[in-house]
Amino acid sequence: MATTGSGAAAPASHATSIGWTRADMARRVARDIGRGWTVNLGIGIPTLVADHLPAERCVTLHSENGILGVGPKPESDPDPWIINAGKEVVTVVPGASYIHHADSFAIIRGGHIDLSVMGAFEVASNGDLANWATDLNRAPAVGGAMDLAVGARKLWVMMEHVTRAGEPRLVAACRYPLTASAVVTRVYTDLATLDVTPDGFVALEMAPGLSLEALQSRTGTPVRSPSE
């Protein structure tokens, strides 16, 4: 995937002024990934999830540049030839496969990815995804994100809740060009975990000390609690 709303990967220690750190977000996503799933982790914040998946969960991580069986980041002596789609050095687990780029995308397009986790610029209340742009400072292409958005069985998004300028990323309708329509089923931000439902966003969990009213003030579309 060429672009994400969260930009290049950032250190796991990064923290916003309120809410969860990126490492917290990664642990939260990892907790929800099912046993035996095949999962693609997009460029940026989603790659942190690999470091929080217990081996006994038997999750297979796929990278579209041609690895089936990506492991966590190396603790020492990294092999510079083993990289993910974001050009980060990674490890591989026992039994991993190196595959042709075309075969990697055949896995995606054939519906064999249980879950794709992506970054985004914006997610709309109906699940529309926008995670690419033609900004001169970014790669001007959608990359593999479009294939993953429609090919994966589930699509979750990890991103910070607002932009650096304080504008909401969860909106009624996306302002950026769409990657795919009505595909996102769950969103993990530094402030909340939200499901995308036919009636819009439902906050399943919020960062400690954050009220629904405070969350709503940072969101560009209505947010409901599960009890509503």
Q: Which residues of 172-209 are buried (b: 16+ CB within 10 A; e: fewer)?
A: eebebebbbeebbebbbbbbbbbebeeebbbbeebbee
Distances in Å between the Cα of 205 and the Cα atoms of 28, 164, 195, 201 are 10, 23, 10, 12
21 by Cβ neighbours in 10 Å (0-12 / 13-18 / 19+) ranks as middle
**Active-site annotation holds for 64:** yes
Q: What is the C-alpha separation between 88 and 55, in angstroms, rounded?
A: 21
Length of the chain: 228
Of the residues 56, 64, 88, 213, which is catalytic? Answer: 64
Torsion of the alpha carbons at 8, 14, 18 and 23, rounded to the nearest 10: 90
Helix (H) or strand (E) holding 187: strand 186-188
Residues contacting residue 55 through CB under 8 Å, at least 6 positions apart:
93
Q: Record the tokens describing residue 86, joined without a space.
A: 């974001």
According to DSSP, residue 138 is labeled S
Catalytic residues: 64
